[in-house]
Every structure is written in C-alpha cells, then in structure tokens.
Amino acid sequence: MGDWMTITDPGLSAESKNISQYTSETKMSPSSLYSQQVLCSSIPLSKNVHSFFSAFCTEENIEQSISYLDQELTTFGFPSLYEESKSKDTKRELNIVAVLNCMNELLVLQRKNLLAQENVETKNLKLGSDMDHLQNCYAKLKEQLETSRREMIGLQERDRQLQCKNRNLHQLLKNEKDEVQKLQNIIASRATQYNHDMKRKEREYNKLKERLHQLVMNKKDKKITMDVLNYVGRADGKRGSWRTGKTEARNEDEMYKILLNDYEYRQKQILMENAELKKVLQQMKKEMISLLSPQKKKPRERADDSTGTVISDVEEDAGELTRENMWDLSCETVREQLTNSIRKQWRILKSHVEKLDNQVSKVHLEGFNDEDVISRQDHEQETEKLELEIQQCKEMIKTQQQLLQQQLATACDDDTTSLLRDCYLLEEKERLKEEWSLFKEQKKNFEKERRNFTEAAIRLGLERKAFEEERASWLKQQFLNMTTFDHQNSENVKLFSAFSGSSDRDNLIVHSRTQQKKPHSVSNGSPVCISKLTKSLPASPSTSDFCPTRSCVSEHSSINVLNITPEETTPNQVGRECTNQKWSIASRPGSQEGCYSGCSLTYTNSHVEKDDLP
C-alpha cells in the first residue's frame, strides 16, 4: 500500500506542477504565450459555446455580436477582428483573415484543452483510486490500532493478574516461612518436651532400677555365685595387692607416665618432621639463592633495593650456619630469620616469575598475531614463488628438451653422444660445450705437440741414423783396430753422454719413461676423481679422444704423487670406520687432497700412456 503510494506520488506531483505552470503562465500573461493562456482561461467558455450559440448571434445583432466578440477577443489578447482603420470616423471593416486565424487558433486551443481535460480526468480518476486505496489503508490501520489496543488491554490485564499472583505467591512464601518458623518452634518445644519427658522417664527408670537393684541384689541372692574348681594364678604371676592410697598414687603416676610417653613420642615425631621441613626450607633457600643471584648481576639497577639486602641477609645466615648448627637451635629468632629470608626470596622469585610470565605471554601474543598475519602473506608469497618456480622449471625443461633434440640431431654422429646422453641439464650441456671447445683446443695443442714430438722423434731418428752410421763407421774403424769385447761399456757411456747433451724434450721423454711402470700399478687402485680443478667430464681415461693438456700434468713431482696415494686411501678408511665426527672431518681435507693428487696422477698416467703409444 505504501509502496504504491510512493510510486504514484511523483506522477501526481508532476501533473500538479504542469497545472501550476499553466496557471502561473496565465497570471503572467506574456504576449508571446498568449494563445495558450487564452484557451486555458476560457475552458468554461468553450464548453458553453454550443449551448447558447444560437441565442448569442441573430440576424439582427451581427454587428453587436461581432463587436462584442472583437472586444472579448482583444481583451483575451487576440488581434482585433476589425481591420485597422485609417481614421476614426470610418466604420471599421471585419477582417476575415483575422477572424479565420482567430477561429483556427481557438480550435487548436480547443483541441489542446480537450486533451488537457482528458489528462486531468484520468488524473482525477487516478487520484480517486488513490484516495480509495488510502482510505482502505486507513481503515485497515484503524482496525489494527483497535486490535493492538485490545491486545494491550489484554496484556495489561494479564500483567495485573500475574502481579496479583506474584503477590499471592509472596504471601504464600511468607506464610510458608512463618509455617517453617512455627514448625521449628514446635520442633524445638517438642524436643524440649521430649527431653524433659525423657528425663522424667529416665528418672523413673532409674528409680525402678534402684528398686530392682535393692530387691535383687540386697536380698542375699543365693543364686548369684561363682563356682570355680580352683582359683588360677594371675596372668603376670604376681599376687593381687590391696587397694590403698599408695596404689592409687601409683596408678596416677603410671597414667601420667603413659601420657608423658605419648607426648614425648609425639614431640619427637614433630621435631623430626620439623627438622625435615627445616632442611627442605634450607635447601630451598640455597637453591633460591643460587637461582636468583646470577640473575641479580644482570638486572642490577632494578633489583638493587630489595635483593641487595636479601643477599646480605643470606650471607649472614650462611655465616651463622657455618658457625653453629641451626637445626638444634629451634629458637624463634632462627626460625624467624629463616622464614623471613625465604619469604623475601620467594617474593622476588614470584615477581621474577610473574615478569617472565608476562613477557612470555606478551611475546606469545605478539608472536601469535605476527604469525597469523605473516602466515597468510607468507602463504600467498610462497604460493606465488612456487608458481613462478614451476613456470621457470617448465621453461627450463622445454629449453632442455629443445637443446637435447638439437644436440641429438647434430651430434649423433659425434663421439660425444655417449657422454651427452648422460647429461640432462642445460648448464651442464653448456659447460660441456665449453669444455668441449677447451678440449678441442687442448687437443689441437696436443696434436701440435705430438707433431713436434714426432718431428723431434724423426729428427732423433735421423740423428740416430746419423749416429748409427757414425757408429758403424766408428765400429768399422774400431773393428778394424781393436777386439769386440769393449763394445758394450763404451756404448753405455756414450749414451749417457749423449743424453746429458740433449734438449729438454728428450729429457722429458726419458723422465716419463722411467716413471712409466710405477704409477701404472697405483692408478688401478686409485679412484677416478671428478675434480673441480680441471672441470673435467666424468669421463674415464679410456675414452679414445681424451687428451689432457700439459697444464694438467701437475706441478707435483711423480715422487710426490706416489707419496700421497697411500695417504689418500688410509684417511678415507679412517673416516669411514670412525664414528667420531671430528675424525671424519679431519680426514676429509686429506682425502680431498688425495683425490686431487689422484686426479693428477691419472692424468700423468694417461699422458705417459699416450706418450708411449706412438
């Protein structure tokens, strides 16, 4: 209902605005809008036109009616129906054009008016229905109001009733309380009455008992007897004693003795307990001192006032302790000292612990908060990172695959395929490439060197040939001159002299040749090392193209190498066997060194082998 109203409201207001516009325009009556204004104001007139048109104009009064109309129209702002006369005397002529114009305008106005009227009528209808609706609403609301009013009255009534009930209940409670009180009183009075009666009865009973006693006991009852064969001895073997004052006193004494013994026993127990408790206290104190004193040193500034005294106290106490045994002196002063110092320390400890607690809780709280916040961020960051990584990895894999394919396509005929097949990572491939180029260079160098060597060898051969020829000639001469027995010795001598005079290259060859046998045997046992020093491939020396450069022939002298190899094996074993970490760590550098040296060794070996081959 309300909704409907809100929807219709703006329309209504717009229409009313239109109306107001019209009216205001008529009031202003500017010359530019005159036609509209006229029509608007003459709505009732146009309606009436048909009804009294016949009566208005007749044959006779055409002139008057025309003039009248003219007057009317001019007053409404229309141009005059008459032509403008040049002079006042001449009779004015009816201007047909003006009349027609007027009429046309009037007709247009009329149409517009009709339209407006229709609008207004529909508006009116709408408003009427709105009105009805509102009236309905009003009626409904009124009904509601009525019902709620009735409800309210009902509730009020109920409230009143409940209050009444409450009052009644209160009254009942009060009554019950009174009743309880009364009953209690009754019980009490009955109890007293009962007690009284009991007492009376008991007195009677006692009297009866007394009487019975007299009757039964005093009348020398023959039946009350004890018939014993013979009296037996006392359990303790003593004879019964007469009852005298002495025995009484003795009994008293004994009783007090028993009591005293009991109290002594209890006192002993309590003393023991006390001693134990004191011991515990003392121990606690000591522990507290030891616990608190190191802390004191750090936060001096805050604890100076309280702890300083305590510590001095403690020291005093300790001094006393050493001087005299405190346990036996259970005097109050000692006890007070002990308890006081303990109390003080306890307070300090407590405050300290509380402080710690606070700190911990703070840290905990903060930590929790931080962690909470960070964890989410972290989570996101982490996921982002991981995604990025995954992306990178994927790319890497792709490139690797491409490269691999390329490599396979290009290098399938190559000798290195076997090597490359084992390598998967891009970097490694690149590194391998680099290494490969390096190796190629090295190979070139080697080849150059080999060429040199071969050249040298050729030269040597030539020399040798020359030498042989020389020797032959010389031998011929010798043969001619001397016997053949001296031949061997003289050759050796000659050889040595020839070596000493030869070039560096020759020296190297001979040098390696001498070493050839020993390192060979060692190299079998030594592991093949992948050293970073040379950035070598995991290639074994058996690969056909493998050719280490001269630089790989390390600075180690061959003897040095031989010395190291046993070292390399032994520390490794120690490292393996020994569980002690230090040992294994200590052995590692040695083993590494060994590795390196082993590497160099293999190179030298290969070098030697290579050298030997041609």
Which of 490-504 are b and which e, b meaning 16 or more Cβ less than 10 Å from the residue's Cβ?
Answer: eeeeeeeeeeeeeee
CA dihedral 133, 139, 142, 146 (to 10 degrees): -140
Least gap, CB of 333 to other proteins (angstroms): 25
Candidates 140, 203, 448, 459; binder of other proteins (CB under 8 A) is 203
**Is residue 75 involved in binding other proteins (CB under 8 A)?**
no
Q: Is 268 in the site for other proteins (CB under 8 A)?
A: no
Of 63, 252, 264, 577, the one binding other proteins (CB under 8 A) is 252
Binding of other proteins at residue 198 (CB under 8 A)?
Answer: yes
Q: Is the dihedral of CA 180, 186, 190, 192 positive or negative?
A: positive
Does residue 267 bind other proteins (CB under 8 A)?
no
d(CA 110, CA 45): 10
- Choose the binding region for other proteins from 24-32, 65-73, 239-247, 532-540 (rule: CB under 8 A): 239-247
Q: Please report how close the Cβ of residue 355 comes to other proteins at its closest, in angstroms.
A: 35
Local structure of 94: helix, strand or coil: strand
Cα–Cα distance for residue pair 348/350, rounded to 1 Å: 5
User: How many CA atoms does the CB half-sphere of 576 hold within 13 Å?
Assistant: 7
Strand partners, 152: none
Give me the least distance between CB of 201 and other proteins, in Å please: 10
CB of 225: closest distance to other proteins in angstroms?
A: 5
Which residue bears the tokens 């009350």?
Answer: 224
Instruction: Find the binding residues for other proteins in span 269-328 (CB under 8 A).
Output: 270
Return the H-helix or E-strand segment holding 304: helix 300-323
Contact between 116 and 143 under an 8 Å Cβ cutoff? The reply is: no
Taken as a whole, the chain contains a residue count of 614
Secondary structure of 102-138 as H, E, C letters: HHHHHHHHHHHHHHHHHHHHHHHHHHHHHHHHHHHHH
Tokens of 147: 């019902």
Closest CB to other proteins among residues 226, 480? 226
Q: Which of 7, 55, 224, 613 binds other proteins (CB under 8 A)?
A: 224
CB 570 within 8 A of CB 491: no
Of 146, 157, 179, 248, the one binding other proteins by CB under 8 A: 248
Q: Taking CB under 8 A as the rule, does residue 206 contact other proteins? A: yes
Nearest CA among 463, 452, 428 for reference residue 614: 452
- The CA-atom distances, in angstroms, between 318 and each of 275, 286, 324, 337, 342 are 18, 9, 10, 11, 13
Q: Of the listed pieces 132-140, 211-219, 334-342, 475-483, which binds other proteins according to CB under 8 A?
A: 211-219
- Among the candidate windows 229-237, 329-337, 551-559, 568-576, which touches other proteins by CB under 8 A? 229-237
Q: 7, 55, 229, 412: which one contacts other proteins (CB under 8 A)?
A: 229
Closer residue to other proteins in complex, CB, 149/266: 266
Shortest distance, position 177 Cβ to other proteins, whole Å: 17
Residue 258 interacting with other proteins (CB under 8 A): yes
Positive or negative torsion for Cα 428, 433, 439, 442? negative
Token reading at 164:
């009444």
Q: Which amino acid is at 401?
A: Q
- Binds other proteins by CB under 8 A, chosen from 118, 132, 253, 254: 254
- C-beta closer to other proteins: residue 200 or 476: 200
Choose which of 27, 86, 91, 234 interacts with other proteins (CB under 8 A): 234
What's the longest Cα–Cα distance across the chain?
195
When binding is defined by CB under 8 A, the residue of 240, 294, 319, 501 that contacts other proteins is 240
7 binds other proteins (CB under 8 A): no
Near other proteins by CB under 8 A: residue from 16, 247, 381, 580: 247
Q: Minimum CB separation from other proteins for residue 294, in Å?
A: 37
The minimum distance between CB 284 and other proteins, in angstroms, equals 23
Q: Which residues bind other proteins (CB under 8 A)?
A: 195, 198-199, 202-203, 206, 209, 212-213, 216-217, 221-236, 240-241, 243, 247-248, 251-252, 254-256, 258-259, 262, 270
